[in-house]
Amino acid sequence: MQCNVGGVDRVGRIVIGVALLLVWFLVPLGLVWQVVVLVIAAIALVTGIVRFCPLSAVLGINTCEPKKGGGG
């Protein structure tokens, strides 16, 4: 797995994941909506933490910063 989630994208995914977890925990929702919110929160958090998103890979989207070379 090569990094394809970086910078602002990564922070945004983690913030959205935490926000959705708070919604799941604090807002009374029906069972179906609880599952939907929890799944989206989990996907956002996992892709933000591991810095890889399979959907972005399929679509060819890469927000990772290019690696800085050691050359002079």
Note the pLDDT tens digit of each residue in 13-63.
999 999 999 999 999 999 999 999 999 999 999 999 999 999 999 999 999
Which pLDDT value is given to residue 47?
A: 96
Is the distance from CB of 4 to CB of 57 less than 8 angstroms? yes
21-40-43 Cα angle (round to 5): 100
More confident residue, 63 or 68: 63
Token output for 68 = 């800085």
Question: What span, in angstroms and rounded, lies between the C-alpha atoms of 71 and 66?
Answer: 14
Is the predicted pLDDT of residue 70 greater than 70, yes or no?
Answer: no
Which pLDDT value is given to residue 57?
A: 92
Is the predicted pLDDT of residue 72 greater than 60, yes or no?
Answer: no
Question: What span, in angstroms and rounded, lies between the C-alpha atoms of 45 and 30?
Answer: 22
